[in-house]
Chain A
Amino acid sequence: MLKAANIRKKFGGLVAIDGVDLEIGRGEIVALIGPNGAGKTTLFNTITGVLDPEEDTEITFNGEDIVALDTHEIARSGLLRTFQIVRVFGEMTVFENALAGALFGSDESISQEEAEERAREALAFVGLEEKAEMEAGNLPIAQQKQLELARTVASDPDLVLLDEIASGLTPGEISELSNTIRRLRDERGISVFWIEHIMDAIMGTADRIIVLKSGRKIAEGTPEEIQNDEAVAEAYLGEDHS
Protein backbone atom coordinates (compact mmCIF):
# COMPACT_ATOMS: atom_id res chain seq x y z
CA MET A 1 0.00 0.00 0.00
CA LEU A 2 2.70 2.49 1.09
CA LYS A 3 5.96 1.84 -0.68
CA ALA A 4 8.99 4.03 -0.29
CA ALA A 5 12.49 3.71 -1.64
CA ASN A 6 15.51 5.77 -0.68
CA ILE A 7 13.72 8.44 1.36
CA ARG A 8 16.22 11.21 1.92
CA LYS A 9 15.83 14.54 3.68
CA LYS A 10 18.51 17.10 4.47
CA PHE A 11 18.33 20.25 6.56
CA GLY A 12 21.14 22.40 5.24
CA GLY A 13 24.17 20.15 5.57
CA LEU A 14 22.52 17.88 8.11
CA VAL A 15 21.16 14.59 6.78
CA ALA A 16 18.02 13.82 8.77
CA ILE A 17 16.77 10.84 6.75
CA ASP A 18 19.42 8.88 4.94
CA GLY A 19 18.05 6.50 2.34
CA VAL A 20 15.22 4.69 4.12
CA ASP A 21 13.23 1.99 2.28
CA LEU A 22 9.97 0.78 3.69
CA GLU A 23 6.70 -0.90 2.81
CA ILE A 24 3.43 -1.09 4.68
CA GLY A 25 0.96 -3.69 3.45
CA ARG A 26 -2.82 -3.71 3.62
CA GLY A 27 -4.08 -4.58 7.10
CA GLU A 28 -0.67 -4.28 8.73
CA ILE A 29 0.23 -2.53 11.97
CA VAL A 30 3.85 -1.45 11.73
CA ALA A 31 5.68 0.32 14.53
CA LEU A 32 8.53 2.77 14.02
CA ILE A 33 10.91 3.07 16.94
CA GLY A 34 14.30 4.61 17.53
CA PRO A 35 16.20 6.86 19.91
CA ASN A 36 15.42 10.58 20.16
CA GLY A 37 16.59 12.48 17.13
CA ALA A 38 16.56 9.36 14.95
CA GLY A 39 14.36 11.18 12.43
CA LYS A 40 11.04 9.44 13.08
CA THR A 41 8.82 12.49 12.97
CA THR A 42 10.86 13.90 10.08
CA LEU A 43 10.13 10.65 8.22
CA PHE A 44 6.39 11.14 8.83
CA ASN A 45 6.60 14.76 7.74
CA THR A 46 8.42 13.74 4.58
CA ILE A 47 5.90 11.02 3.71
CA THR A 48 2.91 13.33 4.32
CA GLY A 49 4.34 16.17 2.23
CA VAL A 50 4.86 18.58 5.13
CA LEU A 51 8.54 18.48 4.19
CA ASP A 52 9.82 18.04 0.65
CA PRO A 53 12.22 15.10 0.34
CA GLU A 54 15.47 15.17 -1.67
CA GLU A 55 15.57 14.50 -5.40
CA ASP A 56 15.77 10.71 -5.78
CA THR A 57 13.20 9.79 -3.12
CA GLU A 58 10.39 7.54 -4.30
CA ILE A 59 7.15 7.24 -2.36
CA THR A 60 4.01 5.62 -3.74
CA PHE A 61 0.69 5.12 -2.04
CA ASN A 62 -1.79 2.66 -3.54
CA GLY A 63 0.37 2.76 -6.65
CA GLU A 64 0.24 6.53 -6.99
CA ASP A 65 3.40 8.66 -6.79
CA ILE A 66 2.86 11.05 -3.86
CA VAL A 67 6.26 12.76 -3.65
CA ALA A 68 5.10 15.82 -5.55
CA LEU A 69 1.68 16.03 -3.91
CA ASP A 70 0.72 18.62 -1.28
CA THR A 71 -0.14 17.53 2.25
CA HIS A 72 -3.87 17.94 1.72
CA GLU A 73 -3.77 15.93 -1.51
CA ILE A 74 -1.95 13.10 0.24
CA ALA A 75 -4.57 13.18 3.01
CA ARG A 76 -7.32 12.97 0.42
CA SER A 77 -5.73 9.94 -1.18
CA GLY A 78 -6.35 8.10 2.11
CA LEU A 79 -3.11 8.63 4.05
CA LEU A 80 -3.87 10.46 7.31
CA ARG A 81 -1.83 11.24 10.37
CA THR A 82 -1.92 12.34 14.00
CA PHE A 83 0.62 14.56 15.72
CA GLN A 84 3.16 14.07 18.47
CA ILE A 85 1.70 17.02 20.34
CA VAL A 86 -2.03 16.61 19.89
CA ARG A 87 -3.54 19.05 17.34
CA VAL A 88 -7.31 18.97 17.62
CA PHE A 89 -9.21 22.14 16.73
CA GLY A 90 -9.63 23.30 20.31
CA GLU A 91 -12.32 25.93 19.74
CA MET A 92 -14.56 23.60 17.73
CA THR A 93 -16.84 21.04 19.29
CA VAL A 94 -15.79 17.40 19.35
CA PHE A 95 -18.38 16.68 16.69
CA GLU A 96 -17.16 19.48 14.42
CA ASN A 97 -13.63 18.10 14.66
CA ALA A 98 -14.81 14.72 13.43
CA LEU A 99 -17.04 16.40 10.85
CA ALA A 100 -14.04 18.30 9.46
CA GLY A 101 -12.27 14.98 9.02
CA ALA A 102 -15.25 13.47 7.24
CA LEU A 103 -15.87 16.49 5.00
CA PHE A 104 -12.36 17.08 3.72
CA GLY A 105 -10.47 13.85 4.17
CA SER A 106 -12.00 11.91 1.33
CA ASP A 107 -11.73 12.65 -2.33
CA GLU A 108 -15.35 12.12 -3.33
CA SER A 109 -17.61 15.11 -2.74
CA ILE A 110 -19.44 13.81 0.24
CA SER A 111 -22.88 15.17 1.17
CA GLN A 112 -23.38 17.03 4.45
CA GLU A 113 -25.69 14.29 5.79
CA GLU A 114 -23.26 11.54 4.93
CA ALA A 115 -20.37 13.45 6.49
CA GLU A 116 -22.35 13.99 9.69
CA GLU A 117 -23.18 10.27 9.77
CA ARG A 118 -19.53 9.34 9.34
CA ALA A 119 -18.46 11.80 12.02
CA ARG A 120 -20.93 10.31 14.51
CA GLU A 121 -19.77 6.83 13.62
CA ALA A 122 -16.10 7.78 14.08
CA LEU A 123 -16.82 9.31 17.49
CA ALA A 124 -18.67 6.16 18.53
CA PHE A 125 -15.72 4.11 17.34
CA VAL A 126 -13.37 5.77 19.85
CA GLY A 127 -16.09 6.13 22.48
CA LEU A 128 -16.49 9.90 22.39
CA GLU A 129 -20.10 10.12 21.23
CA GLU A 130 -21.21 11.33 24.68
CA LYS A 131 -18.86 14.33 24.41
CA ALA A 132 -19.92 15.34 20.90
CA GLU A 133 -21.07 18.83 21.82
CA MET A 134 -18.17 19.63 24.15
CA GLU A 135 -15.48 22.07 23.06
CA ALA A 136 -12.54 19.91 22.01
CA GLY A 137 -9.98 22.02 23.86
CA ASN A 138 -11.73 21.20 27.13
CA LEU A 139 -11.22 17.45 26.77
CA PRO A 140 -8.49 15.77 28.81
CA ILE A 141 -5.37 14.96 26.75
CA ALA A 142 -6.16 11.23 26.47
CA GLN A 143 -9.52 12.04 24.92
CA GLN A 144 -8.03 14.70 22.66
CA LYS A 145 -5.75 11.98 21.30
CA GLN A 146 -8.76 9.73 20.74
CA LEU A 147 -10.51 12.60 19.02
CA GLU A 148 -7.52 13.15 16.76
CA LEU A 149 -7.74 9.48 15.87
CA ALA A 150 -11.50 9.75 15.32
CA ARG A 151 -10.90 12.71 13.02
CA THR A 152 -8.73 10.53 10.79
CA VAL A 153 -11.17 7.60 11.03
CA ALA A 154 -14.02 9.87 9.91
CA SER A 155 -12.33 10.41 6.58
CA ASP A 156 -12.27 6.65 5.94
CA PRO A 157 -8.51 6.34 5.41
CA ASP A 158 -6.50 3.37 4.11
CA LEU A 159 -3.47 4.11 6.28
CA VAL A 160 -2.97 6.25 9.36
CA LEU A 161 0.38 7.43 10.67
CA LEU A 162 0.32 7.77 14.46
CA ASP A 163 3.02 9.93 16.06
CA GLU A 164 3.58 8.89 19.70
CA ILE A 165 -0.11 8.67 20.35
CA ALA A 166 0.44 6.78 23.63
CA SER A 167 2.87 9.20 25.25
CA GLY A 168 1.60 10.92 28.37
CA LEU A 169 -1.15 8.37 28.92
CA THR A 170 -1.69 6.15 31.96
CA PRO A 171 -1.14 2.36 31.57
CA GLY A 172 -4.92 1.86 31.58
CA GLU A 173 -5.38 4.45 28.85
CA ILE A 174 -2.56 2.91 26.84
CA SER A 175 -4.09 -0.54 26.81
CA GLU A 176 -7.45 0.95 25.81
CA LEU A 177 -5.73 2.85 23.01
CA SER A 178 -3.83 -0.23 21.79
CA ASN A 179 -7.14 -2.02 21.72
CA THR A 180 -8.67 0.79 19.65
CA ILE A 181 -5.76 0.60 17.21
CA ARG A 182 -6.23 -3.14 16.76
CA ARG A 183 -9.93 -2.56 16.13
CA LEU A 184 -8.95 0.08 13.59
CA ARG A 185 -7.36 -2.68 11.56
CA ASP A 186 -9.77 -5.54 12.40
CA GLU A 187 -13.06 -3.68 12.05
CA ARG A 188 -12.14 -0.96 9.60
CA GLY A 189 -9.38 -2.53 7.57
CA ILE A 190 -7.16 0.50 8.19
CA SER A 191 -3.39 -0.05 8.16
CA VAL A 192 -1.32 1.65 10.85
CA PHE A 193 2.20 3.04 10.82
CA TRP A 194 3.01 3.99 14.35
CA ILE A 195 5.86 5.91 16.00
CA GLU A 196 6.03 4.98 19.65
CA HIS A 197 8.37 5.29 22.58
CA ILE A 198 6.28 3.17 24.91
CA MET A 199 7.21 -0.42 24.14
CA ASP A 200 4.30 -1.89 26.12
CA ALA A 201 1.93 -0.17 23.76
CA ILE A 202 3.36 -1.71 20.61
CA MET A 203 4.69 -5.09 21.68
CA GLY A 204 1.33 -6.77 21.78
CA THR A 205 -0.11 -4.78 18.88
CA ALA A 206 2.42 -4.33 16.08
CA ASP A 207 2.91 -7.02 13.44
CA ARG A 208 6.28 -5.64 12.51
CA ILE A 209 8.72 -3.10 13.89
CA ILE A 210 11.10 -0.83 12.00
CA VAL A 211 14.01 0.67 13.93
CA LEU A 212 15.48 3.99 12.89
CA LYS A 213 18.74 5.49 14.10
CA SER A 214 20.42 8.64 12.85
CA GLY A 215 18.16 8.68 9.81
CA ARG A 216 18.94 5.09 8.79
CA LYS A 217 16.91 1.92 9.14
CA ILE A 218 19.02 -0.37 11.36
CA ALA A 219 16.60 -3.22 11.87
CA GLU A 220 13.22 -4.55 10.84
CA GLY A 221 11.27 -7.59 12.00
CA THR A 222 8.64 -9.02 14.31
CA PRO A 223 8.51 -7.70 17.88
CA GLU A 224 10.31 -10.85 19.08
CA GLU A 225 13.08 -10.46 16.53
CA ILE A 226 13.57 -6.82 17.41
CA GLN A 227 13.67 -7.56 21.13
CA ASN A 228 16.55 -9.94 20.52
CA ASP A 229 18.38 -7.75 17.99
CA GLU A 230 21.83 -6.68 19.15
CA ALA A 231 22.09 -3.62 16.95
CA VAL A 232 18.82 -2.33 18.39
CA ALA A 233 19.91 -2.93 21.96
CA GLU A 234 23.12 -1.07 21.22
CA ALA A 235 21.31 1.84 19.61
CA TYR A 236 19.18 2.30 22.70
CA LEU A 237 21.93 1.63 25.21
CA GLY A 238 24.14 4.07 23.36
CA GLU A 239 21.60 6.77 23.96
CA ASP A 240 19.79 5.99 27.17
CA HIS A 241 22.78 4.89 29.16
CA SER A 242 21.60 6.74 32.23
Chain B
Amino acid sequence: MNTDRLPGARSLALVGILFVIAPLPVLGSGYYIGVLSRILLFALFALALNIVFGHNDQLFLFMGGLGGVGAYTTALVADSFGVTPWIGLPVAALLCGVIAMSVSWVSARRRFTVILISILTLNLQLVFSEAFIGARDLTGGSTGFPYELFSLSGVADAVGVPTAVVLYYLILAFLLAGMVLYLWLIKSSRYGIAFEAIREDELAAESIGIDVVRYKAIAGFIAGVLIAIAGTLLAREASYITPSIFTFLAVDVIALIVLIVGGIRRTYGPIVGAIIVEVIEAALGTYAANWRTAIFGGLLIILFLYFRSGVIVAAEDLLEDWDISLGGGNGGTPTEADAES
Protein backbone atom coordinates (compact mmCIF):
# COMPACT_ATOMS: atom_id res chain seq x y z
CA MET B 1 0.00 0.00 0.00
CA ASN B 2 1.16 3.48 -0.72
CA THR B 3 1.32 5.72 2.23
CA ASP B 4 2.32 8.94 0.49
CA ARG B 5 -0.44 11.36 -0.40
CA LEU B 6 -0.38 10.88 -4.14
CA PRO B 7 1.22 7.70 -5.43
CA GLY B 8 2.79 8.21 -8.81
CA ALA B 9 3.08 11.98 -8.34
CA ARG B 10 6.72 11.84 -9.35
CA SER B 11 6.17 10.09 -12.67
CA LEU B 12 3.28 12.43 -13.39
CA ALA B 13 5.56 15.41 -12.74
CA LEU B 14 8.06 13.91 -15.18
CA VAL B 15 5.37 13.40 -17.83
CA GLY B 16 4.20 16.95 -17.18
CA ILE B 17 7.68 18.36 -17.72
CA LEU B 18 8.05 16.39 -20.96
CA PHE B 19 4.82 17.89 -22.27
CA VAL B 20 5.85 21.35 -21.10
CA ILE B 21 9.03 21.22 -23.15
CA ALA B 22 7.55 19.23 -26.06
CA PRO B 23 6.36 22.29 -28.06
CA LEU B 24 9.59 24.27 -27.62
CA PRO B 25 11.31 22.87 -30.74
CA VAL B 26 8.22 23.47 -32.88
CA LEU B 27 6.92 26.76 -31.46
CA GLY B 28 6.67 28.29 -34.90
CA SER B 29 4.72 25.47 -36.49
CA GLY B 30 0.99 25.75 -36.10
CA TYR B 31 0.68 22.27 -37.56
CA TYR B 32 2.79 20.52 -34.91
CA ILE B 33 1.26 22.53 -32.08
CA GLY B 34 -2.13 21.40 -33.39
CA VAL B 35 -1.04 17.75 -33.36
CA LEU B 36 0.27 18.12 -29.79
CA SER B 37 -2.95 19.81 -28.68
CA ARG B 38 -5.05 17.05 -30.19
CA ILE B 39 -2.95 14.46 -28.34
CA LEU B 40 -3.77 16.19 -25.06
CA LEU B 41 -7.45 16.62 -25.95
CA PHE B 42 -8.03 12.99 -26.82
CA ALA B 43 -5.99 11.92 -23.81
CA LEU B 44 -8.48 13.95 -21.76
CA PHE B 45 -11.50 12.29 -23.42
CA ALA B 46 -9.89 8.87 -22.96
CA LEU B 47 -9.07 9.71 -19.34
CA ALA B 48 -12.77 10.32 -18.70
CA LEU B 49 -13.60 7.06 -20.47
CA ASN B 50 -10.96 5.24 -18.45
CA ILE B 51 -12.60 6.34 -15.21
CA VAL B 52 -16.17 5.62 -16.19
CA PHE B 53 -15.69 2.61 -18.49
CA GLY B 54 -12.31 1.18 -17.49
CA HIS B 55 -12.77 1.43 -13.74
CA ASN B 56 -16.55 1.47 -13.54
CA ASP B 57 -17.78 -0.68 -16.40
CA GLN B 58 -20.11 2.03 -17.72
CA LEU B 59 -19.52 2.32 -21.45
CA PHE B 60 -20.32 5.95 -22.29
CA LEU B 61 -20.88 6.35 -26.01
CA PHE B 62 -22.09 9.93 -25.84
CA MET B 63 -18.79 11.66 -25.22
CA GLY B 64 -19.11 13.61 -28.45
CA GLY B 65 -22.61 14.77 -27.58
CA LEU B 66 -21.70 15.61 -24.02
CA GLY B 67 -18.55 17.41 -25.14
CA GLY B 68 -20.72 19.38 -27.56
CA VAL B 69 -23.18 20.30 -24.83
CA GLY B 70 -20.19 21.51 -22.82
CA ALA B 71 -18.76 23.56 -25.66
CA TYR B 72 -22.05 25.19 -26.68
CA THR B 73 -23.00 25.86 -23.06
CA THR B 74 -19.69 27.55 -22.29
CA ALA B 75 -20.14 29.89 -25.23
CA LEU B 76 -23.87 30.49 -24.75
CA VAL B 77 -23.61 31.22 -21.03
CA ALA B 78 -20.76 33.64 -21.67
CA ASP B 79 -22.66 35.25 -24.53
CA SER B 80 -26.14 35.55 -23.07
CA PHE B 81 -25.09 36.73 -19.61
CA GLY B 82 -22.25 38.85 -20.87
CA VAL B 83 -19.77 37.11 -18.59
CA THR B 84 -16.34 35.70 -19.27
CA PRO B 85 -16.19 32.11 -20.60
CA TRP B 86 -14.20 31.33 -17.47
CA ILE B 87 -17.59 31.41 -15.76
CA GLY B 88 -19.32 29.68 -18.66
CA LEU B 89 -16.93 26.72 -18.53
CA PRO B 90 -17.64 25.69 -14.91
CA VAL B 91 -21.37 26.07 -15.56
CA ALA B 92 -21.04 23.82 -18.62
CA ALA B 93 -18.91 21.33 -16.71
CA LEU B 94 -21.46 21.19 -13.92
CA LEU B 95 -24.32 20.73 -16.41
CA CYS B 96 -22.56 17.87 -18.22
CA GLY B 97 -21.55 16.36 -14.90
CA VAL B 98 -25.17 16.33 -13.81
CA ILE B 99 -26.36 14.90 -17.14
CA ALA B 100 -23.79 12.10 -17.01
CA MET B 101 -24.49 11.52 -13.33
CA SER B 102 -28.21 11.14 -14.03
CA VAL B 103 -27.52 8.62 -16.79
CA SER B 104 -25.24 6.66 -14.46
CA TRP B 105 -27.68 6.90 -11.60
CA VAL B 106 -30.66 5.67 -13.60
CA SER B 107 -28.59 2.91 -15.23
CA ALA B 108 -27.23 1.71 -11.89
CA ARG B 109 -30.61 1.94 -10.22
CA ARG B 110 -32.15 -0.13 -13.01
CA ARG B 111 -29.16 -2.50 -13.00
CA PHE B 112 -28.29 -1.93 -16.66
CA THR B 113 -25.56 -4.11 -18.08
CA VAL B 114 -22.61 -2.47 -19.80
CA ILE B 115 -24.30 -3.26 -23.12
CA LEU B 116 -27.52 -1.49 -22.17
CA ILE B 117 -25.60 1.58 -21.01
CA SER B 118 -23.70 1.66 -24.29
CA ILE B 119 -26.92 1.48 -26.32
CA LEU B 120 -28.66 4.05 -24.13
CA THR B 121 -25.80 6.52 -24.38
CA LEU B 122 -25.42 5.90 -28.12
CA ASN B 123 -29.05 6.95 -28.52
CA LEU B 124 -28.42 10.02 -26.39
CA GLN B 125 -25.41 10.81 -28.59
CA LEU B 126 -27.63 10.79 -31.66
CA VAL B 127 -30.21 12.99 -29.94
CA PHE B 128 -27.52 15.52 -29.08
CA SER B 129 -26.10 15.41 -32.61
CA GLU B 130 -29.53 16.09 -34.12
CA ALA B 131 -30.24 18.81 -31.57
CA PHE B 132 -26.98 20.64 -32.37
CA ILE B 133 -28.00 20.82 -36.03
CA GLY B 134 -31.68 21.44 -35.35
CA ALA B 135 -31.50 24.11 -32.65
CA ARG B 136 -30.29 26.66 -35.17
CA ASP B 137 -31.12 29.70 -33.01
CA LEU B 138 -28.73 28.56 -30.32
CA THR B 139 -26.07 26.64 -32.18
CA GLY B 140 -26.04 28.26 -35.60
CA GLY B 141 -27.05 24.90 -37.08
CA SER B 142 -24.59 22.97 -39.17
CA THR B 143 -22.62 26.10 -40.07
CA GLY B 144 -21.89 26.87 -36.41
CA PHE B 145 -20.12 30.01 -35.22
CA PRO B 146 -16.56 31.23 -34.52
CA TYR B 147 -15.20 29.98 -31.23
CA GLU B 148 -12.35 32.12 -30.01
CA LEU B 149 -13.05 32.24 -26.30
CA PHE B 150 -10.84 32.73 -23.27
CA SER B 151 -9.02 35.78 -24.76
CA LEU B 152 -5.94 33.67 -25.42
CA SER B 153 -4.62 35.98 -28.10
CA GLY B 154 -4.08 38.72 -25.51
CA VAL B 155 -1.87 36.39 -23.50
CA ALA B 156 -0.16 35.23 -26.67
CA ASP B 157 0.65 38.80 -27.70
CA ALA B 158 1.99 39.64 -24.25
CA VAL B 159 4.29 36.60 -24.23
CA GLY B 160 5.12 36.82 -27.90
CA VAL B 161 4.02 33.33 -29.00
CA PRO B 162 1.22 32.17 -31.32
CA THR B 163 -2.25 31.79 -29.75
CA ALA B 164 -2.15 28.04 -30.47
CA VAL B 165 0.80 27.68 -28.09
CA VAL B 166 -1.09 29.36 -25.26
CA LEU B 167 -4.05 27.07 -25.95
CA TYR B 168 -1.74 24.05 -25.86
CA TYR B 169 -0.54 24.95 -22.36
CA LEU B 170 -4.10 25.61 -21.26
CA ILE B 171 -5.15 22.14 -22.41
CA LEU B 172 -2.05 20.68 -20.75
CA ALA B 173 -2.99 22.33 -17.46
CA PHE B 174 -6.45 20.76 -17.59
CA LEU B 175 -5.08 17.34 -18.55
CA LEU B 176 -2.53 17.38 -15.73
CA ALA B 177 -5.23 18.44 -13.29
CA GLY B 178 -7.32 15.56 -14.61
CA MET B 179 -4.41 13.18 -14.10
CA VAL B 180 -3.90 14.38 -10.52
CA LEU B 181 -7.61 13.78 -9.92
CA TYR B 182 -7.26 10.31 -11.46
CA LEU B 183 -4.27 9.36 -9.34
CA TRP B 184 -5.97 10.51 -6.19
CA LEU B 185 -9.29 8.94 -7.11
CA ILE B 186 -8.12 5.55 -8.31
CA LYS B 187 -4.84 5.01 -6.54
CA SER B 188 -5.13 6.57 -3.14
CA SER B 189 -8.71 7.12 -2.07
CA ARG B 190 -11.41 4.75 -0.97
CA TYR B 191 -13.13 5.49 -4.27
CA GLY B 192 -10.44 3.45 -6.01
CA ILE B 193 -11.18 0.39 -3.89
CA ALA B 194 -14.94 0.88 -4.28
CA PHE B 195 -14.65 1.26 -8.08
CA GLU B 196 -12.49 -1.85 -8.36
CA ALA B 197 -14.86 -3.87 -6.17
CA ILE B 198 -17.87 -2.73 -8.22
CA ARG B 199 -16.14 -3.49 -11.50
CA GLU B 200 -15.18 -6.99 -10.44
CA ASP B 201 -18.39 -8.04 -8.72
CA GLU B 202 -21.32 -5.71 -8.09
CA LEU B 203 -23.24 -8.06 -5.85
CA ALA B 204 -20.23 -8.81 -3.66
CA ALA B 205 -19.51 -5.07 -3.51
CA GLU B 206 -23.04 -4.33 -2.30
CA SER B 207 -22.85 -7.15 0.18
CA ILE B 208 -19.89 -5.60 1.95
CA GLY B 209 -21.63 -2.24 2.22
CA ILE B 210 -20.61 -0.41 -0.94
CA ASP B 211 -23.32 1.88 -2.27
CA VAL B 212 -22.97 0.85 -5.92
CA VAL B 213 -25.47 3.38 -7.27
CA ARG B 214 -23.73 6.26 -5.51
CA TYR B 215 -20.24 5.35 -6.67
CA LYS B 216 -21.36 4.82 -10.25
CA ALA B 217 -23.12 8.18 -10.19
CA ILE B 218 -19.95 9.82 -8.85
CA ALA B 219 -17.86 8.21 -11.61
CA GLY B 220 -20.41 9.43 -14.14
CA PHE B 221 -20.27 12.97 -12.74
CA ILE B 222 -16.48 13.14 -12.87
CA ALA B 223 -16.44 11.79 -16.42
CA GLY B 224 -19.13 14.30 -17.45
CA VAL B 225 -17.10 17.21 -16.08
CA LEU B 226 -13.91 16.09 -17.83
CA ILE B 227 -15.79 15.51 -21.10
CA ALA B 228 -17.35 19.00 -20.97
CA ILE B 229 -13.92 20.56 -20.51
CA ALA B 230 -12.42 18.44 -23.30
CA GLY B 231 -15.32 19.34 -25.61
CA THR B 232 -14.98 23.05 -24.95
CA LEU B 233 -11.25 22.96 -25.58
CA LEU B 234 -11.79 20.84 -28.71
CA ALA B 235 -14.02 23.56 -30.15
CA ARG B 236 -11.53 26.23 -29.09
CA GLU B 237 -8.76 24.30 -30.84
CA ALA B 238 -10.80 24.35 -34.03
CA SER B 239 -11.55 28.08 -33.45
CA TYR B 240 -14.97 27.37 -34.88
CA ILE B 241 -17.79 25.29 -33.45
CA THR B 242 -19.92 23.02 -35.64
CA PRO B 243 -21.95 19.88 -34.90
CA SER B 244 -19.53 17.84 -37.02
CA ILE B 245 -16.82 18.21 -34.36
CA PHE B 246 -18.96 16.32 -31.87
CA THR B 247 -20.25 13.33 -33.79
CA PHE B 248 -20.01 9.76 -32.59
CA LEU B 249 -17.38 8.96 -35.20
CA ALA B 250 -15.32 12.07 -34.53
CA VAL B 251 -15.10 11.75 -30.75
CA ASP B 252 -16.36 8.48 -29.27
CA VAL B 253 -14.79 6.12 -31.77
CA ILE B 254 -11.42 7.88 -31.53
CA ALA B 255 -11.49 8.10 -27.72
CA LEU B 256 -12.34 4.42 -27.53
CA ILE B 257 -9.46 3.52 -29.84
CA VAL B 258 -7.13 5.76 -27.83
CA LEU B 259 -8.07 4.09 -24.58
CA ILE B 260 -7.79 0.56 -25.92
CA VAL B 261 -4.50 1.23 -27.72
CA GLY B 262 -2.99 2.76 -24.58
CA GLY B 263 -4.36 0.11 -22.27
CA ILE B 264 -7.56 0.24 -20.30
CA ARG B 265 -7.16 0.94 -16.56
CA ARG B 266 -3.54 1.95 -17.01
CA THR B 267 -2.62 5.31 -15.55
CA TYR B 268 -0.85 6.56 -18.68
CA GLY B 269 -2.97 4.51 -21.09
CA PRO B 270 -4.93 7.55 -22.32
CA ILE B 271 -1.77 9.59 -22.95
CA VAL B 272 0.18 6.76 -24.61
CA GLY B 273 -2.85 5.85 -26.71
CA ALA B 274 -3.44 9.45 -27.76
CA ILE B 275 0.18 9.82 -28.84
CA ILE B 276 0.02 6.63 -30.92
CA VAL B 277 -3.33 7.48 -32.52
CA GLU B 278 -2.45 11.10 -33.28
CA VAL B 279 0.93 10.12 -34.72
CA ILE B 280 -0.85 7.63 -36.99
CA GLU B 281 -3.32 10.35 -37.91
CA ALA B 282 -0.56 12.89 -38.58
CA ALA B 283 1.28 10.37 -40.74
CA LEU B 284 -1.92 9.68 -42.65
CA GLY B 285 -2.55 13.38 -42.98
CA THR B 286 0.25 13.72 -45.48
CA TYR B 287 -0.07 10.42 -47.32
CA ALA B 288 -3.62 9.15 -47.20
CA ALA B 289 -6.03 11.55 -45.56
CA ASN B 290 -8.91 9.99 -47.47
CA TRP B 291 -8.27 6.63 -45.85
CA ARG B 292 -8.30 7.94 -42.31
CA THR B 293 -11.83 6.71 -41.49
CA ALA B 294 -11.26 3.30 -43.06
CA ILE B 295 -8.02 2.83 -41.18
CA PHE B 296 -9.57 3.73 -37.85
CA GLY B 297 -12.42 1.32 -38.55
CA GLY B 298 -9.97 -1.47 -39.30
CA LEU B 299 -7.99 -0.51 -36.21
CA LEU B 300 -11.11 -0.74 -34.05
CA ILE B 301 -11.79 -4.28 -35.30
CA ILE B 302 -8.23 -5.48 -34.85
CA LEU B 303 -7.87 -3.87 -31.43
CA PHE B 304 -10.98 -5.44 -30.04
CA LEU B 305 -10.36 -8.86 -31.54
CA TYR B 306 -6.69 -9.13 -30.67
CA PHE B 307 -5.38 -6.42 -28.37
CA ARG B 308 -8.08 -5.74 -25.88
CA SER B 309 -5.72 -5.25 -22.97
CA GLY B 310 -3.86 -2.59 -24.95
CA VAL B 311 -1.00 -2.49 -27.38
CA ILE B 312 1.49 -1.68 -24.65
CA VAL B 313 0.43 -4.62 -22.53
CA ALA B 314 0.58 -6.88 -25.58
CA ALA B 315 4.09 -5.63 -26.33
CA GLU B 316 5.14 -6.26 -22.73
CA ASP B 317 3.70 -9.76 -22.88
CA LEU B 318 5.61 -10.37 -26.07
CA LEU B 319 8.85 -9.23 -24.44
CA GLU B 320 8.11 -11.47 -21.48
CA ASP B 321 7.57 -14.42 -23.80
CA TRP B 322 10.93 -13.75 -25.38
CA ASP B 323 12.52 -13.62 -21.95
CA ILE B 324 11.13 -17.01 -21.13
CA SER B 325 12.17 -18.56 -24.40
CA LEU B 326 15.61 -16.96 -24.06
CA GLY B 327 15.78 -18.50 -20.61
CA GLY B 328 15.78 -21.88 -22.32
CA GLY B 329 12.77 -23.81 -21.09
CA ASN B 330 12.98 -22.41 -17.61
CA GLY B 331 10.06 -24.22 -15.97
CA GLY B 332 10.65 -22.32 -12.76
CA THR B 333 9.03 -19.07 -13.83
CA PRO B 334 5.68 -19.57 -12.08
CA THR B 335 7.45 -20.52 -8.85
CA GLU B 336 9.43 -17.31 -9.00
CA ALA B 337 6.22 -15.35 -9.36
CA ASP B 338 4.81 -17.15 -6.33
CA ALA B 339 7.90 -16.51 -4.28
CA GLU B 340 7.61 -12.81 -5.02
CA SER B 341 4.28 -12.47 -3.27
Q: A: which residues have CB within 8 A of B?
A: 48, 50, 70-73, 75-76, 80-81, 83, 87-92, 95-96, 99-101, 103-106, 112, 116, 131, 133-135, 138, 151-152, 155
Contacts and interface: CB of A to CB of B under 8 A. Distances in A.
Contact of B193 (A80, A83, A96, A135): A96
A83 B210 CA distance: 16
B14 interface: no
Contact of B207 (A75, A103, A112, A116): A75
- Which of B1, B193, B200, B208 has its CB near the most chain A CB atoms (within 10 A)? B208
Given A95-B1, A99-B193, A105 B208 contact: yes
A155 B209 contact: yes
Nearest to A116: B1
B196 A48 contact: no
Contacts of B1: 95, 116
A155 B197 CA distance: 15
Given A48-B207, A105-B209, A155-B208, A135 B201 contact: no
A72 B204 CA distance: 10
B194 interface: yes
A97 B193 CA distance: 9
B193 A50 contact: no
Interface in B167-212: 190, 193-194, 196-197, 200-201, 203-212
A80 B28 CA distance: 63
Interface residues of B, number: 19
Contacts, number: 81
Contacts of A88: 204
B341 interface: yes
Nearest to B198: A89
A71 B193 contact: no
B341 A134 contact: yes
Contact of B341 (A99, A100, A116, A135): A135
Contacts of B208: 75, 80, 100-101, 104-105, 151-152, 155
B206 A91 contact: no
B206 A89 contact: no
Contact of A72 (B196, B201, B211): B211
Query: Which of A50, A71, A105, A155 counts the most chain B CB atoms within 10 A?
Result: A71
Instruction: List the 9 closest A-B pairs by CB distance, nearest first.
Output: A75-B209, A87-B204, A104-B209, A71-B206, A105-B209, A134-B341, A76-B209, A89-B200, A104-B210
Given A89-B201, A112-B190, A133-B341, A100 B206 contact: no
Contacts of A75: 206-209
Interface string B309-341: 000000000000000000000000000000001
B196 A91 contact: yes
B237 to A, nearest CB: 37
A65 B210 CA distance: 20
A161 to B, nearest CB: 10
Given A95-B1, A96-B193, A104-B194, A72 B200 contact: no
18 contacts: A72-B206, A72-B212, A73-B211, A75-B207, A76-B209, A80-B208, A80-B209, A83-B203, A91-B196, A92-B200, A100-B193, A103-B193, A103-B194, A104-B210, A138-B341, A151-B208, A155-B208, A155-B209
A100 B210 contact: yes
B341 A72 contact: no
Contacts of A99: 193
A83 B206 contact: no
Nearest to B213: A70
Interface-centre pick from A48, A50, A88, A104 (highest chain B CB count, 10 A): A104
A80 B193 CA distance: 18
Contacts of A83: 203-204, 207
Given A75-B208, A101-B209, 6 more contacts: A72-B210, A89-B200, A104-B197, A104-B209, A105-B209, A138-B341
Contacts of B201: 87, 89
B208 to A, nearest CB: 5
A95 to B, nearest CB: 7
Contacts of A48: 207
A90 B212 contact: no
Contacts of B207: 48, 50, 71-72, 75, 80-81, 83, 87
B200 A100 contact: no
A72 B209 contact: yes
A100 B197 contact: yes
A75 to B, nearest CB: 4
Contacts of A134: 341
Given A72-B209, A100-B193, A101-B208, A131 B203 contact: no
Nearest to B189: A112
Contact of A92 (B190, B196, B211): B196
Contacts of A138: 341
Contact of B190 (A90, A95, A103, A155): A103
Contacts of B210: 72, 100, 104
A160 to B, nearest CB: 11
A116 B190 CA distance: 11
A23 to B, nearest CB: 22
A92 B196 CA distance: 8
B84 to A, nearest CB: 38
Interface string B208-225: 111110000000000000
